[in-house]
Chain A
Amino acid sequence: GQQVMQIPQYQHVQEGEDFTTYCNSSTTLSNIQWYKQRPGGHPVFLIQLVKSGEVKKQKRLTFQFGEAKKNSSLHITATQTTDVGTYFCAGPFVFDSNYQLIWGAGTKLIIKP
């Protein structure tokens, strides 16, 4: 079936270091969405990327969509404690008119004490 793979599963960083999570789809995507889920919370939408090669920035967060629209990344510069949480990518798949939104397993950002 359709898959969205996300790596790494965890990333431990010192506050102030950078963080990156990568997302790969088994097939070409029409768009990709990124969400953040704080511990004990629910996912919160961050952004949607649509165009091949698209790069979007939100303050310290940089999102990229690959040229083939099969991969994406989220990079956080100079992490802060408020960045702690799990970051998910999600891609839509349509097969036989059936729509599904498939999520990656997430990358958990952990700030070392």
Chain B
Amino acid sequence: ETGVTQSPTHLIKTRGQQVTLRCSSQSGHNTVSWYQQALGQGPQFIFQYYREEENGRGNFPPRFSGLQFPNYSSELNVNALELDDSALYLCASSPESPTYNEQFFGPGTRLTVL
């Protein structure tokens, strides 16, 4: 059983560009959440996908968008990058459960916007 994987591990972009980050969920998990974590801060919830549908969204602008695929892997897209988008982007997957919410995190993608 493989854990949550993310690609790429590091990425450097310039302001105004677009980026796509990828996440493969743990086997058997159908829920994926994305987080932004700035240095020294707690993770900020971006959105969550459950069975290919977005079922929750944090306070992020529409230029942050995502997808979940039939195999439950997921993408995070960020358009019109800004300097403040520089952060660690974490993906977490969890199995379906109405009451138990353990999330398994990937190692993250470190995005630097210049």
Contacts and interface: CB of A to CB of B under 8 A. Distances in A.
Interface string B30-68: 000100000001111100100000011111000000000
A1 B45 CA distance: 14
A50 B99 CA distance: 9
A78 interface: no
Interface in A86-113: 88, 90, 92, 98-106
Contacts, number: 54
Interface size class of A (residues with CB under 8 A): 20 to 34
Interface in B59-114: 59, 90, 92, 99-108
Nearest to A44: B105
Interface of B is mostly: loop
Interface of A: 1, 6, 31, 33, 41-45, 48, 50, 88, 90, 92, 98-106
